[in-house]
Amino acid sequence: MSNIRFQANLQGRRMLTGKWRHAILITFLFVLLVLGVSLLEKALRTSLHIPQLDSHMLLNMDPRSALISGVFCVVTFLVITPLTTGQTEWYWHLAQNKERPIGDVLGWFGSLRLYGKSILLGLQIIWRMALWGLAVYAAPIVLMLIDEFILGYESLPSAILYLVAMVLILVGSVFLTFIAMRYFLAVYLLVEKASRKTTDCVKASVRYSRSFRWEIFKFQWSFIFWWLLCYLFIPIFYVYPYYSISSVELARHVLATKRTKRIEGEDGVIAQVTLKEDQENSSNTQ
């Protein structure tokens, strides 16, 4: 299992051979939409004189600013989620050596049913992660409230309590990232077979990823350095396609492994039997 990440990355680079131009154009479309929404928000804030940061370069806590941020978060979600689903589907077919036109990444906008499914899947994952987040951060939030309203800021117990809260937040964030790996496969299950119910995609993702979550977690963290480089903007046109196709390869490996049953006969020969669900999925793959 230790070579899964390496093989996914290696196979991903191989699959991009001769396809980099298409992958870069797809990434450019993603960046263009994200920047477009961001510039639209900036223009609105400028016209209304509601900056995102205050004079101390801290987040503007004005209710109007929070409302604008909330509205554009929703807009970004409604625009980017179907697009990333379409991009995932494009890379999924690329991993199967199937030629698909670049315009197919917009396919999840072209059907109300597909658009709704991509949004619904995203919402189901968000609310599940929100519940996990509430459970994980409840204790440190309570400690910080005690620190602020009961102990005050200038006592030793207050400092210790605040330090404990920060440690719990840090540990909780890492744990929450690991929990998120439960849902890593959901979007791949949806693009594999668009007729699936989104609830089934989430449940199947939790089931299939059970023995692979640590590997998926390490795979995600292995890209941290690459994502930091994206702050220089240009590297994103390499990192995003590389991450996307590598993620597809990892997902395909996990699904294939979990759907294959190993049977050892009396003579010691091990046979691999493809489960019925996998056969149905293969025949119905788009």
Token pair of 110 as six digits = 């072209």
CA–CA gap between residue 188 and residue 210 (Å, rounded):
16
Cα distances from 256 to residues 207, 208, 275, 278, in angstroms, run: 13, 10, 10, 8
- Cα–Cα dist 5/100, whole Å: 26
Q: Please give the pLDDT value at position 123.
A: 97
Return phi, psi of residue 184, to 5°. -60, -40
- Per-residue pLDDT at 275: 52
Per-residue pLDDT of the chain (286 residues; tens, 9 = 90+): 557 888 888 888 899 998 999 999 999 999 999 999 999 999 998 998 888 876 666 777 788 888 999 999 999 999 999 999 999 999 999 999 888 899 999 999 999 999 999 999 999 999 999 999 999 999 999 988 887 777 666 677 778 888 999 999 999 999 999 999 999 999 999 999 999 999 999 999 999 999 899 999 999 998 988 888 877 767 889 999 999 999 999 999 999 998 885 444 454 444 444 555 544 454 444 3
CA atoms within 13 Å, Cβ hemisphere of 65: 12
Left if phi > 0, otherwise alpha if psi is -120 to 50, otherwise beta: which for 233? left
Per-residue pLDDT, 277: 55
Q: pLDDT at position 271, please?
A: 44
How many CA atoms are closer than 13 Å to the CA of 8, on its beta-carbon side? Answer: 25
Residue 270 CB contacts under 8 Å (≥ 6 apart), including other chains = 262, 263, 264
Strand boundaries in 9-63, DSSP class E: none
**Coil vs helix vs strand at 59:** strand
- Identify the DSSP state of 100: -
Task: Tell me 270's DSSP state.
Answer: E
SS3 155: coil
**pLDDT at residue 261, as a whole number:** 58
CB atoms within 10 A of CB 89: 25
| Cβ proximity of 10 and 45 under 8 Å | no
Give the model's pLDDT for residue 225.
Answer: 87
260-264 and 270-274 beta bridge pairing = antiparallel
pTM, 2 dp: 0.85
